[in-house]
């Protein structure tokens, strides 16, 4: 049975889907609340508990104009400068600084995980349930899921010869701390990933996109010194095996349109808006 956190996210996601599809009409509070079968009062309270801002403010964060303003700021500060400026040093908001990628060996890749023992567990986050998995070297998988069995099937397909054990280990706990605004950032969290050299470069570049900021496929291609490879970058981003920790949700189209996401465009909009809301609250 889903927890209250997950249940609330499902209702918020339904509201965000409506907001995203009807943004140009600027729906009022009563109209949005009706979509999730709540009174305006209860919906406003639930939404502010989840996002920290009103639905109206959240709509602004999902607008194309807001996205364009972020994308026009080519002078992104370093993560250290961002932490200092916003008072975020040492908190989970700047997890990127503490995450490193270790590639699986060619043998591990070729053997489809035959030599790997993988722990997995399921947890609730502000954006729905996730299934996490780790080897003794680090986190190898995070995916948002709607069904645990289907999520396990995806994991098994990625590592068909690995031995899977249901166990929440310290690596999982480290990864989950990123969703806690009051918690500490993961301490030197390692990701143990299988991917091509190109994919690994793209994923490393994604880790450098600051919290609540946005990038384009073209800008990521430029970051890895392959400016003409925007399409290939998009493919590598789509193959990201670690949801949220590797922030592929922060990459949008140059037009300001949010675009697709492996775990659903509504969830991507929810994450982008939520990050913008948290960043705004901290700056205020």
DSSP for 38-101? --HHHHHHHHHHHHSS-HHHHHHHTSHHHHHHHHT---PPPHHHHHHHHT-TTBGGGGGGGEEE
Confidence of residue 77 (pLDDT cuts 50, 70, 90): very low
pLDDT tens digits, one per residue of 102-113: 888 877 777 777
How far apart are alpha carbons 166 and 58 in whole angstroms? 37
Contact (Cβ atoms closer than 8 angstroms) between residue 20 and residue 266: yes
Reading the block at residue 275, the tokens are 């990050």
- Report pLDDT digits (tens) over 188-214: 789 999 999 999 999 999 988 888 899
pLDDT interval class at 23 (50, 70, 90):
confident
From the list 145, 212, 248, 252, the catalytic residue is: 248
Q: Which of 206, 237, 209, 212 is nearest to 69 (CA)?
A: 212
Per-residue pLDDT at 79: 41
DSSP of 59-77, one letter per residue?
Answer: HHHTSHHHHHHHHT---PP
219 token code pair: 């800008």
Interior CA angle at 102 toward 178 and 251, to 5°?
Answer: 55
Least reliable range by pLDDT among 62-71, 95-104, 251-260, 268-277: 95-104
Q: What is the pLDDT of residues 225-237, one digit of tens each?
A: 999 999 999 999 9
Q: Is 248 a catalytic residue?
A: yes
Q: Which residue has the higher pLDDT, 66 or 242?
A: 242
Kindly indicate the confidence band of residue 282, based on its pLDDT and cuts at 50, 70 and 90.
Answer: low
């Amino acid at each position: 049975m889903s927890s209250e956190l997950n249940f609330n996210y499902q209702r918020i996601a339904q509201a965000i889907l409506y907001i995203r599809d009807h943004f140009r009409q600027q729906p009022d509070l009563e109209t949005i609340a009706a979509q999730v079968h709540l009174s305006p009062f209860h919906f406003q309270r639930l939404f502010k508990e989840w996002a920290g801002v009103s639905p109206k403010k959240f709509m602004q964060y999902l607008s194309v104009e807001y996205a364009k303003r972020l994308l026009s700021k080519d002078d992104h500060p370093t993560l250290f400068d961002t932490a200092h400026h916003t008072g975020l040093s040492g908190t989970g908001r700047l997890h990127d600084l503490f995450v490193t990628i270790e590639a699986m060996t060619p043998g591990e890749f070729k053997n489809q995980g035959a030599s790997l023992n993988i722990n997995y567990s399921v947890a609730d986050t502000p954006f729905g349930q996730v299934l996490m998995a780790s080897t003794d070297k680090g986190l190898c998988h995070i995916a948002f899921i709607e069904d645990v069995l289907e999520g396990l099937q995806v994991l098994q397909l990625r590592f068909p010869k690995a031995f899977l054990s249901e166990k929440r280990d310290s690596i999982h706990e480290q990864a989950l701390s990123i969703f806690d605004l009051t918690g500490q950032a993961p301490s030197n969290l390692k990701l143990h990933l299988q991917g091509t050299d190109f994919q690994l470069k793209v994923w490393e570049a994604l880790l450098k996109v600051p919290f609540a900021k946005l990038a384009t496929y073209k800008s990521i291609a430029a970051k890895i010194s392959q400016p003409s490879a925007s399409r290939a970058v998009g493919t590598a981003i789509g193959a990201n095996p670690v949801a949220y920790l590797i922030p592929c949700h922060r990459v949008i189209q140059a037009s300001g349109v949010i675009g697709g996401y492996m775990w659903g465009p509504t969830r991507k909009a929810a994450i982008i808006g939520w990050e913008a809301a948290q960043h705004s609250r901290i700056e205020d």
